[in-house]
């Protein structure tokens, strides 16, 4: 007959769907009371839910009594006939090499070794990934400590959710138990365990929270403070699950293509949702969520409200760059032109390598029906009455445009922009400088010199990809139409 503590764990595992018949579970065993309790619970669970079990013990190379812990775990495995794999690590050396605390290094090494055994087991048997799991002995008190640690370090919502009972391949069957219940269970079972003296070392933040802060809160606030913190973490997990769907939807709505996002779409989001979408975008570009700070997110969010472009440097070489309505998040210099490439692909401008100007000679001196190809541009003249509306609409193509032949100066040139360039913007003949036009059209500064224009001296008649000057546009009164098209070889920069 199951005791109340065992029943509590069994029910918790069933509700959270932690283990299913036929699963393969790698359990981390330090030899301490928590991991020994977990091991015994798993053994009992196997009676009603058949699954395979293996043990992993990590020797950290820190404590003098660690060898005794290793022997204890090996003996436990032999007693229950459960395979046990031993990993010997030099955690102090690893911590120094990776610039981590010994606490952080020990955690990384343990999870790395547990995952190594899980993958090796799966490869041995050729099984499905989802059925090979790692069980750790974290309990309710650990949950409270974790939430406080994250809170003290300025964590966001995700950190305050604490540890999940299930985030495959990890499962945590004991999150429903307090430390008091674990010790009571081991006493009831008469099961020995090892004591880790480093748990009393106040140099570690977790130990200070466990041995000083939480006892003080239990005395001054309520004895149930740890249970209340764990309950809050559970509520926040449910909130995070709901918000994840909202964040994902907003992310895809704002995304133009890989690593490019529409600023106007991001601006419409509530501040929390906006920052979470940015967090997702930045993390996927390689910055890593662990090293991404709230200050980083605020700096990128500030780009969205700026009237000018700008850049923000982020961890691991990631850079966020705003170009008008495009936010570009890239990992390195090789990707830094993604935003410009996107604008080019959408036909917002043509960017060819600057070369000598190309005269457009002979076209405007031809009779209707003539075709002439000169340099990078092709031209032709047709009677307006013989040109169908469908042909006129072809002017929407950024490489082809139609003009009123009789209003054109015959001395046209294809070149890049120059000082003093202007275009006529309406039928009344009002002028606008090309410089102002490019700013108003939000063409990035670094790309303006690459733009092609068709000009009559300083008078711009066509900006391929944007517009025709109003003074030469085709109207109902047009008798003869000039068509100009950029050739394919021009687009290649030849």
Given the candidates 3.50.40.10, 3.40.190.10, 3.40.630.30, 3.40.50.300, the CATH classification of the domain at 358-491 is 3.50.40.10
The CATH architecture one would assign to domain 4-232 is: 3-Layer(aba) Sandwich (3.40)
pLDDT over 50 (residue 490): no
Q: For the domain 258-345, what is the CATH code?
A: 3.30.465.60
Per-position DSSP letters for 137-158, written without gaps between them? ---HHHHHHHHHHHHHTT--HH
Domains 258-345 and 358-491 alike in fold: no
Q: Does position 489 have pLDDT exceeding 50, yes or no?
A: no
392 to 259, 382, 465: CA distances (angstroms): 37, 11, 16
Please compute the mean of the pLDDT values over residues 238-246 and round it to a whole number.
95
**What is residue 494's predicted lDDT score, i.e. its pLDDT?**
34
CA distance 117 to 95: 22
Whole-prediction pTM: 0.69
Mean pLDDT, residues 381-397: 48
Of 213-222, 252-261, 331-340, which range is least confident? Answer: 331-340
What confidence tier does 7 reach under pLDDT thresholds 50, 70, 90?
A: very high
SS3 state of residue 462: strand
Rounded CA-CA distance 31/62 in Å is 15
Question: Is 92 in contact with 102 (CB distance < 8 Å)?
Answer: yes
pLDDT of 415 > 50? The answer is yes
- Give the domain ranges of the chain: 4-232, 258-345, 358-491
Segment 113-169, tens digit of pLDDT: 999 999 999 999 998 899 999 999 999 999 999 999 999 988 889 899 999 999 999
């Amino acid at each position: 007959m199951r005791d109340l503590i065992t029943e509590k764990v069994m029910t918790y595992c069933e509700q959270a769907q932690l283990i299913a018949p036929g699963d393969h579970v790698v359990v981390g065993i330090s030899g301490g009371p928590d991991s020994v309790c977990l091991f015994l619970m798993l053994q009992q669970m196997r009676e009603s839910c058949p699954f395979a079990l293996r043990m992993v013990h990590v020797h950290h190379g820190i404590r003098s009594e660690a060898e005794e812990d290793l022997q204890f775990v090996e003996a436990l495995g032999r007693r229950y006939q459960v395979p046990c794999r031993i990993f010997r690590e030099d955690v102090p050396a690893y911590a120094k090499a990776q610039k981590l605390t010994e606490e952080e290094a020990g955690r990384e090494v343990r999870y790395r070794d547990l995952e190594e055994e899980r993958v090796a087991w799966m490869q041995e048997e050729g099984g499905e990934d989802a059925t090979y799991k790692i069980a750790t002995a974290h309990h309710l008190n650990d949950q409270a400590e974790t939430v406080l640690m994250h809170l003290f370090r300025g964590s966001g919502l995700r950190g305050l959710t604490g540890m999940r009972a299930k985030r495959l391949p990890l499962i945590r069957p004991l999150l429903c138990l307090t430390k008091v219940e674990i010790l009571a269970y081991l006493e009831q079972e008469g099961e020995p365990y090892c004591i880790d003296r480093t748990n009393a070392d106040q140099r570690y933040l977790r130990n200070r929270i466990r041995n000083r802060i939480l006892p003080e809160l239990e005395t001054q606030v309520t004895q149930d403070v740890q249970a209340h913190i764990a309950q809050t973490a559970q509520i926040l997990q449910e909130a995070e699950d709901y918000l994840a769907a909202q964040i994902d939807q907003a992310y895809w709505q704002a995304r133009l293509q890989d690593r490019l996002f529409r600023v106007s779409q991001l601006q419409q989001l509530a501040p929390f949702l906006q920052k979470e979408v940015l967090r997702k975008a930045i993390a996927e570009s390689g910055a890593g969520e662990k090293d991404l700070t709230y200050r980083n997110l605020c700096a990128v969010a500030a780009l969205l409200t700026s009237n000018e472009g700008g850049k923000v440097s982020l961890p691991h070489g990631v850079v966020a760059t705003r170009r008008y309505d495009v936010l570009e998040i890239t990992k390195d210099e090789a990707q830094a032109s993604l935003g410009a490439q996107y604008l080019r692909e959408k036909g917002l401008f043509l960017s060819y390598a600057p070369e000598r100007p190309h005269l457009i000679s002979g076209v405007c001196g031809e009779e209707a029906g003539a075709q002439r190809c000169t340099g990078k541009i092709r031209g032709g003249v047709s009677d307006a009455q013989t040109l169908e509306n469908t042909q006129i609409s072809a002017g929407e193509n950024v490489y082809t445009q139609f003009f009123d032949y009789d209003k054109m100066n015959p001395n046209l040139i294809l070149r890049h922009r120059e000082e003093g360039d202007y275009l006529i913007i309406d039928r009344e003949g009002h002028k606008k400088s090309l410089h102002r036009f490019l700013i108003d059209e939000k063409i990035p500064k670094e790309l303006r010199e690459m733009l092609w224009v068709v000009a009559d001296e300083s008078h711009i008649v066509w900006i391929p990809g944007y517009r025709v000057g109003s003074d030469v546009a085709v109207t109902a009164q047009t008798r003869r139409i000039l068509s100009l098209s950029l050739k394919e070889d021009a687009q290649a920069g030849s």
